[in-house]
Structure 1
Amino acid sequence: MTSEKTNKVQPPKAAVIEAPYEVIYFAKKHRISQEDARGIIEKYGANRKEADKAGRRISV
């Protein structure tokens, strides 16, 4: 019999953290243009922490 721990699926929150932002959501969140948001997402990919930092720098 397999243990219950090996059958667990990755929690949804962890899966979201590893995925890159959606362009429209990111642009609205930081109040920047979609072109700027697209560039940041392309540069930082799934690294949301760094993408958020870049978005805050542009929005100022």
Structure 2
Amino acid sequence: MTDDKTKKDATADGPYDVIYFAKKHRISQEDARDIIEKYGANRKEADKAGRRISA
């Protein structure tokens, strides 16, 4: 049986999915892609950038 918690934790360390990130911050997929390319797996900084654009 697969441990779902471990699977989620491993995913949380990588960069966001573009569609998920765009919906989360209510921004375009193009803007989301640019942010993810710039910040990579640094989710804290990516979220900050997403909030700045959506404001």
TM-score range, shorter chain: 0.7 to 0.9
How many residues of Structure 1 are paired with residues of Structure 2 in the alignment? 50
The TM-score with structure 2 as length reference comes to 0.83
Q: CA RMSD in A?
A: 0.9
Report percent identity of matched pairs: 80
Q: 41, 48, 58: which one pairs with 2:53?
A: 58
Aligned counterpart, 2:23 = 28
For structure 1, which runs of at least 5 residues remain unmatched after alignment?
A: 1-10
C-alpha displacement at 1:16, in angstroms? 1.9
Q: 39, 44, 48: which one pairs with 1:44?
A: 39
